Amino acid sequence: MSQRAKVIDLYKTMLHLGKDWHQGYDTFRFKLHRAFLKNKDETDPAKVDNMIKHGKFVIKEIEALYMLKKYRTLKRRYH
């Protein structure tokens, strides 16, 4: 998969995760778009790979936050 395809896939995945963002989808989308635009002119493959790895890390952190929120909600309801 080319780097361009990886970046587009990363962007789409993050947009999908942003639907449940606590500050609202529009805020999340705006900040995500701004972050991707800031690095749009980067051409060094090593730096782009590092940014993709960082993006995957951020995805894992967002998923962990959602799981924690779900766990706390369940705990509050049943205890």
Hey, where are the domains in the chain? 3-78
The whole-angstrom separation of Cα 61 and Cα 20 is 14
Residues of the chain with pLDDT under 70: none
What's phi and psi for 24, nearest 5 deg?
A: 110, 150
Query: Among candidates 11, 1, 6, which has minimal Cα distance to 37?
Result: 11
Residue 33: per-residue pLDDT: 95
Query: Mind listing the pLDDT tens digit for each residue in 31-45?
Result: 999 999 999 999 999
Instruction: Judge contact between 62 and 17, C-beta under 8 A.
Output: yes
Structure tokens at 1: 């998969």
Residue 48: per-residue pLDDT: 94
Please name the helix (run of DSSP H) or strand (run of DSSP E) that holds residue 79, with its range, or none. none
